[in-house]
Copies of this chain bind each other. A is one copy, B any other.
Amino acid sequence: MHRILSSQLPQYIGETVNVAGWVHRRRLLAKVAFVVLRDREGLLQIVCKESAVPAEEQVVAVTGRVVANEAAPGGVELVEPVFTVLGEAEPPPVELFRPELNASLPMLLDHAAVTLRHPQRKKVFAASAKAVGAFRRALDERGFTEVFTPKIVGSATESGANVFEIDYFGAKAYLAQSPQFYKQTMVGVFERVYEVGPVFRAEPHDTSRHLATYTSLDAELGFIENHRDVMAVLTEVIRAMVGAVEEFGFQAAVPAQIPVLHFQEALKIAGAPEDEPDLAPEHERALGEWAAREHGSDFLYVEGYPMRKRPFYTHPQPGEPRWSNSFDLLFRGLELVTGGQRLHRHEDYLAALNHDTGSLETYLEAFRHGMPPHGGFAIGLERFMARLTGASNVRETTLFPRDLHRVAP
C-alpha cells in the first residue's frame, strides 16, 4: 500500500492508510498510549490501545485508520495502528519532542545528526533551501546564467591573508576565498552570471558571525551604468528571498525602496568620527536602528566606502577617487552583502596593481580582450538566515559549521 504523508492525512478520513516516519514522542497513559509520528511534512498523532509502542526516534511504518478528532494536531489522528519497525534507535542525546530544543550550542553542533531533526532546527534549513531557490529564480528571470567555478586556485584570490593552503599533487594550491575573478571573467561570456557555492576563509577570528567556510550567493552583471544598477538587482533578489521564507513564519521588512546612505552620511548618523575608514559593528548597529526607525526598513544600503578599504578591483566614484562605487547592504544592523562596480579596463587594472600583475595575469586576460562596465555582489547565506531568524550565532544557521576549533561532525 502506498505511503501517505502527515499533511495528506485529512484527505483520508475513514480510510486505512500507511504512514511512516520517526517516533517523535510517545506518551504512555493508564489505558492508552499516544505516539506522535514525524515525517518530512510534519507531525501526526497515533492512538494505541496497547502499551507496546515503539521508542522515540525509532523509524516505523504504520498501518491504521484515519479518524477526525478536533483535539488532535491537524484535526485528525490514526487509530488501531499496526507498527513495523524499519530502523532501531537508541534514546537521542537531546529531547527532540520538546517544543523548544533545550541544548547548548556545542551540544547542538556536536550532535547535529540528531539535533537537526528537531522541527525548529529543520525549519531553519528548509527555509534556507527556499531562500536559495528564490535567489536563483529571481536571477534566472533576469537573464542570468548559473556557473560552476573552481574552488582550488593556483594563487590566493583577494589577498594572501586568511587563505587555506592545500597539498596539490605535491605542489601548493589554495582554496578559493570567493569566485570573484571567475564570475567577472564569465561576464565576458554570459553578461550576467551567478554561482551558489562554498567559499573558504582561514578566519582566525572566533566570533559569532565568522566561519571558515560558508555558502556564498554570488552574482555579477555587465552593461551597467554604475553600482546603483547592481543594487537594483540585489534589492529584487532580497525581496524574493524574504518572500520565499514567509511560509515558515520568518519575516523582514523590505520597503519598495531600500534606503541608501553615502558612507559619509552613514558615519554622521552612526556618530562616528568623519575620518573613520570603515564602519565598526557598533556603527552598523546604530545605522540598522536608524533605518528601522526612519524608513521602517530592515535593510539599508551604504554606498561610497573609501577606496583604501576596498579591494583593488573596486571602481572609484567618478570625480571623487577617494570614494568608491561600492556598497554594503546591512540587514538589521549587520553587513549581509558586499558589492559594487568593478574596474573593467585593462589599463585600470595595471594601474591599480602598480603593473605588478604577478599571479593575476590569467585573471586579467578577460580585461585585455574587452569587458563591459560591470559589477556584482555576494550574499552570505548563513548570515542571511541568522539575521532573519534572530539567531545570535551564524553557527545556528549552518548545518555542519567549520571554524577555528571545529572540523566535525
Contact = CB atoms under 8 A, between A and B. Distances in A.
Contacts of A147: 125, 129, 399
A145 interface: yes
User: Chain A at the B interface: mostly helix, strand, loop or mixed?
Assistant: mixed
B363 A409 contact: yes
Q: How large is the interface on A (under 10, 10 to 19, 20 to 34, 35 or more residues)?
A: 35 or more
Contacts of A86: 223, 344, 372-373
A250 interface: no
A373 to B, nearest CB: 6
A294 B381 CA distance: 48
A168 B407 contact: yes
Contacts of A190: 40, 122, 125-126
Interface string A324-356: 000000000000000000001110000000000
B167 A165 contact: yes
A233 B169 CA distance: 37
Counting chain B CB atoms within 10 Å of each CB, the highest count among A164, A202, A346 belongs to A164
Contacts of A381: 148
Contact of A399 (B153, B168, B182, B202): B182
A117 interface: yes
A3 B223 contact: yes
Given A189-B116, A223-B3, A409-B362, A57 B370 contact: yes
B129 A145 contact: yes
Contacts of A23: 370
B370 A22 contact: yes
B90 A169 contact: no
Contacts of A285: none
Interface stretch (A100-108, A192-200, A271-279, A300-308): A192-200
A154 B192 CA distance: 36
Given A88-B346, A166-B175, A198-B197, A150 B116 contact: no
Nearest to A199: B151
Nearest to A126: B145
A20 interface: yes
A278 B107 CA distance: 43
A149 interface: yes
A61 to B, nearest CB: 8
Contacts of A114: 188, 365-366, 369
A212 interface: yes
A362 B154 contact: no
Nearest to A362: B409
A407 B154 contact: yes
A300 B407 CA distance: 39
B189 A125 contact: yes
B153 A365 contact: no
A368 B87 contact: no
A289 interface: no
Interface in A79-106: 86-90, 92-93
A145 B125 contact: yes
A365 B113 contact: yes
B89 A202 contact: no
Interface string A161-184: 000111111010101000000100
Contacts of A231: none
Interface in A354-383: 362-363, 365-366, 368-373, 381
B369 A92 contact: yes
Given A147-B399, A182-B400, 10 more contacts: A20-B372, A92-B369, A111-B365, A113-B362, A117-B189, A125-B190, A150-B213, A153-B407, A169-B204, A173-B407
- Considering the complex of A and B, which 10 residue pairs feature the smallest CB-CB distances, nearest first? A89-B370, A362-B409, A40-B191, A57-B370, A113-B366, A154-B407, A129-B146, A113-B365, A154-B408, A166-B166
6 contacts: A23-B370, A40-B143, A88-B370, A117-B189, A151-B200, A362-B409
